[in-house]
């Protein structure tokens, strides 16, 4: 399958697959490939030569056109979360070096040139493979989010590997409603459809009712979405006619896997990845789908398991090691942070920070994160450090420690332990939502007299009740 792929990143937008009416539909708004291509290329002509452009990544057709425009121009696209508060937004815009905003953006505090979407234009030359396609911001344990530079080559390789694993073809109709500022919703969920040449229905929000109504063949969701689908059996049973249900971005609880199987008749495919590596592991459409396991490396990816002492951990299904990945889907580095990039690699191997096991058949299971300071909530990665910094910027907070607590719906929910005076929990939650973004807000605030610290003064998060 790979050998037959076009050298273009998005053949559907270069007229290589003919045209398709209603090819892309976002929140009810349809567009054909020909119109999308004309608008994207017309807009691209206004971007040529820019280093990077920002996009207010709302779940709209305009976002898809703006992203396609950046790609057509060979200008790195920086998707900004639409709910980002001023601190997070200005960090992303400054750090990325974005020189303009493409399309509508309600950012009163941002002094960047605005580039309107064009209504028409002709095809520009295909940019080279090694040009950056996207700069996606991702949280670490401490500090502000880092810009992950993803090349066109990595995006193409990652999508081709998934097309092969999932038998994803132009005959599919892909349905999802995931955010357009992360790899899952944007790279897999939009660029994937445009590369494979299948129809895309983006439901605006990933609600069970919208998934049921869309009548797709291929569905993407994070575990929170799948848990909510199962909680509405009428919606779940409507997915029986689908071909493949895919889960990723966080561990799919075995109970949700079993409920999905019972209600939809499908064993969901589970896949694993990171912003930095794109998707590296997946169960396959034509292979075993084992609850709790994320399968095998996709084409072009290699993995290894490294024990605490740096030696290779056994592939016996039990021995836990840190998962390292290498191959064609990896990012180019963290923008402007050579030390952080160097620290993330051991030679060609990217250290994922995830603990995993591999069995004798090469099947992988993700056991958890190595750091307590990375929280996955609703499929969003949030660094404890950035939330603590936001909390400490509130005048009533003297000390703060943030942890992830198990949550049936979100996987983990953000819990903040704070020391201070006259603490109003609701106001603190709102403060984080407005400063960073809504999904980074704590769901619980617990006021304590002091934080547990070791002799060095470091907070012992393991001792904080969950």
- The helix/strand/coil state of 165 is helix
369 counts as binding ligand AMP under rule CB under 6 A: yes
Question: At closest approach, how far in Å is the CB of 185 from ligand MCA?
Answer: 5
The answer to whether 71 and 128 are in contact (CB under 8 A) is no
283 counts as binding ligand MCA under rule CB under 6 A: no
Round to whole Å and give the CA distance between 33 and 19.
6
The whole-angstrom distance between residue 188's C-alpha and the CA centroid of its chain comes to 9
Cα–Cα nearest to 20, from 10, 33, 7: 33
Question: At closest approach, how far in Å is the CB of 177 from ligand MCA?
Answer: 8
Please work out the total of residues on this chain that contact ligand AMP, with binding judged by CB under 6 A.
Answer: 18
Q: Residue 294 touches which of ligand AMP, ligand MCA, none (CB < 5 to 8 A by kind)? A: ligand AMP
Tell me the HSE value of 244 on the side-chain side, using a 13 A CA sphere: 25
Residue from 46, 182, 266, 364 in contact with ligand MCA (CB under 6 A): 182
Complex with ligand AMP: residue 178 or 429, whichever CB lies closer? 178
Question: At closest approach, how far in Å is the CB of 45 from ligand MCA?
Answer: 30
Quickly count: other Cβ atoms within 10 Å of residue 432's Cβ: 26
Complex with ligand MCA: residue 41 or 139, whichever CB lies closer? 139
Per-position DSSP letters for 420-435, written without gaps between them: ESS--HHHHHHHHHHH
The encoded tokens of residue 318 equal 């039990």
Residue from 249, 283, 341, 389 in contact with ligand MCA (CB under 6 A): 249
Round to whole Å and give the CA distance between 417 and 448.
7
294 counts as binding ligand AMP under rule CB under 6 A: yes
Question: At closest approach, how far in Å is the CB of 274 from ligand AMP?
Answer: 4
The encoded tokens of residue 172 equal 């599919």
Question: At closest approach, how far in Å is the CB of 178 from ligand MCA?
Answer: 4
The number of residues in the chain equals 466
The encoded tokens of residue 171 equal 């005959």
Residue from 152, 184, 289, 461 in contact with ligand MCA (CB under 6 A): 184
Residue spans of beta strands (DSSP E) within 162-277: 173-176, 199-202, 218-221, 244-247, 269-274
Round to whole Å and give the CA distance between 70 and 47.
7
**Binding to ligand AMP in span 239-268, by CB under 6 A:** 248-251
Q: Residue 354 touches which of ligand MCA, ligand AMP, none (CB < 5 to 8 A by kind)? A: ligand AMP
Q: Residue 224 touches which of ligand AMP, ligand MCA, none (CB < 5 to 8 A by kind)? A: ligand MCA
Residue from 70, 273, 327, 404 in contact with ligand MCA (CB under 6 A): 273
Round to whole Å and give the CA distance between 132 and 75.
7
Residues near ligand AMP (CB under 6 A): 138, 183, 248-251, 270, 272-275, 294, 352, 354, 366, 369, 376, 381
Residues near ligand MCA (CB under 6 A): 83, 178-179, 182-185, 206, 222, 224-225, 248-249, 273-275, 378-380, 429-430, 433, 438-439, 441
């Amino acid at each position: 399958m790979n050998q037959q792929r076009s050298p273009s990143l998005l053949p559907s937008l270069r007229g290589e697959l003919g045209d398709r009416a209603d090819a892309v539909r976002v929140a009810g708004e349809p567009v054909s490939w020909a119109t999308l291509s004309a608008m994207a290329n017309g807009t691209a002509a206004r971007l040529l030569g820019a280093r990077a452009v920002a996009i207010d990544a709302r779940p709209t057709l305009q976002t898809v056109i703006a992203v396609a425009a950046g790609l057509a121009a060979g200008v790195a696209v920086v998707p900004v979360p639409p709910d980002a508060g001023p601190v997070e937004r200005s960090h992303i815009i400054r750090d990325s070096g974005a020189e303009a905003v493409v399309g509508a953006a309600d950012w009163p505090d941002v002094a960047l040139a605005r580039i309107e979407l064009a209504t028409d234009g002709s095809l520009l030359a295909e940019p080279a493979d090694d040009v950056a396609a996207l700069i996606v911001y991702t949280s670490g344990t401490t500090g502000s989010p880092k810009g992950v530079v993803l090349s066109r080559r990595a995006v193409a390789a990652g999508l081709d590997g998934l097309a092969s694993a999932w038998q994803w073809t132009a005959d599919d109709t892909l349905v999802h409603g995931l955010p357009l500022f992360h790899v899952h919703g944007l790279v897999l969920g939009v660029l994937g459809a445009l590369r494979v040449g299948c129809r895309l229905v983006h439901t605006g929000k990933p609600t069970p009712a919208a998934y049921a109504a869309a009548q797709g063949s291929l569905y993407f969701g994070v575990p929170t979405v799948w848990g909510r689908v199962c909680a509405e059996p009428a919606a779940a049973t409507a997915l029986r006619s689908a071909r493949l249900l895919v889960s990723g971005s966080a561990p799919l609880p075995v109970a949700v896997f079993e409920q999905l199987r019972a209600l939809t008749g499908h064993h969901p495919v589970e896949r694993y990845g990171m912003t930095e590596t794109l998707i590296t592991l997946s169960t396959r459409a034509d292979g075993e789908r084992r609850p709790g396991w994320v399968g095998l490396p996709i084409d072009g990816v290699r993995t290894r398991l490294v024990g605490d002492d740096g030696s290779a951990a056994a592939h016996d299904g039990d021995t836990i090691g840190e998962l390292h990945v290498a191959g064609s889907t990896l990012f180019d580095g963290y923008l402007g942070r050579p030390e952080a990039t160097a620290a993330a690699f051991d030679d060609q191997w990217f250290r994922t920070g995830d603990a995993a096991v591999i069995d004798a058949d090469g099947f992988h299971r993700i056991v958890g994160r190595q750091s307590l300071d990375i929280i996955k909530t609703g499929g969003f990665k949030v660094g404890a450090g950035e939330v603590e910094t936001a909390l400490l910027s509130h005048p009533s907070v003297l000390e703060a420690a943030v942890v992830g607590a198990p949550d049936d719906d979100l996987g983990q929910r953000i819990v903040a332990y704070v020391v201070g005076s006259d603490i109003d929990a609701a106001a603190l939650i709102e403060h984080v939502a407005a400063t960073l973004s809504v999904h980074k807000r704590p769901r619980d605030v617990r006021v304590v007299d002091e934080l547990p610290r070791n002799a060095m003064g470091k907070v012992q998060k393991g001792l904080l009740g969950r």
